Structure 1
């Protein structure tokens, strides 16, 4: 019960730190955002992570990678994003529209940035922390598995974001299903990952087949 409560609090902390970083980065260069967010929030996240059993070195690297990701993402997040205004001034378009389109393109990054912190195994994306504590064979295996899951999740989110398969639009329900199946690949639970890994290609083939039959 204590571990469950801690795990839930950890996710809440990640969410609020992500939002804080995006707000902090409004009109501020990424470097300044990262330094400020690191000073104010990194110790709390590292403490949460180590309490959940993640080695301190891995927790430290994963935390700062997470904060750096969101510091950079703040630069394209509407309504204020320095890169959006710079690009809009060059092409003479609305900076808010540029920001919305940029955020849609970068949508998977908002989710994937948090993956460095969701479990010790997920930090295999950083390679070194796992290599130092688990050895080369396990590190290579975990890296390849997690990399494949993340790629599949990005593919699912992209389909849901674009909303098209086979030249025809997806329904809202179908897009939601793709988001859910993609999310299942990112949850730090092997059983849920397995369900998502089987369900995602099966649902994609089902949708594609139905479009060929109705064409």
Structure 2
């Protein structure tokens, strides 16, 4: 019995490693935040920057050009090469997308490119980050089956808080075309640094 107990203690992850899913969830949250922060600013782009309704619709569609390929390709590639190689660049891509959106407020093509970057990042977060969170929430990393709920809540919270905060900052904060994106850049880069500690769960 003592030998069994010692073996179980040595194979069970520590409290620190059992919370490794939080780093991936933080990255997923930041990416979802960046993916939805553009939506409440559409009225501003139409009234302040003079974009037509068609241009705004095309900017929304540009998002799809990034998210769909990332969703279709990211999951299978992460099954083959592992979660880390596909997910680690995602928050950096989200930060790049937000930076382009912040710098290109007067240019519809620049905004479109930024939206594509945000879409690619979100597609990877949904296809790869969700799987990674679920695996880090399951044995041997952690007991229980809360992975699906954690993955869904990370995305949902990011979508909701990102849109709400961006709208508030654009309405009452300084530099309305820059500040909402600057917040996401800081969040995404911080999450990218934290996620480097998350262990791989998929054998290459």
Q: Larger RCO: Structure 1 or Structure 2 (Cα < 8 Å, ≥ 6 residues apart)?
A: 2
Q: TM-score, normalised by structure 2?
A: 0.35
Query: Taking structure 1 as the reference length, what is the TM-score of the superposition?
Result: 0.34
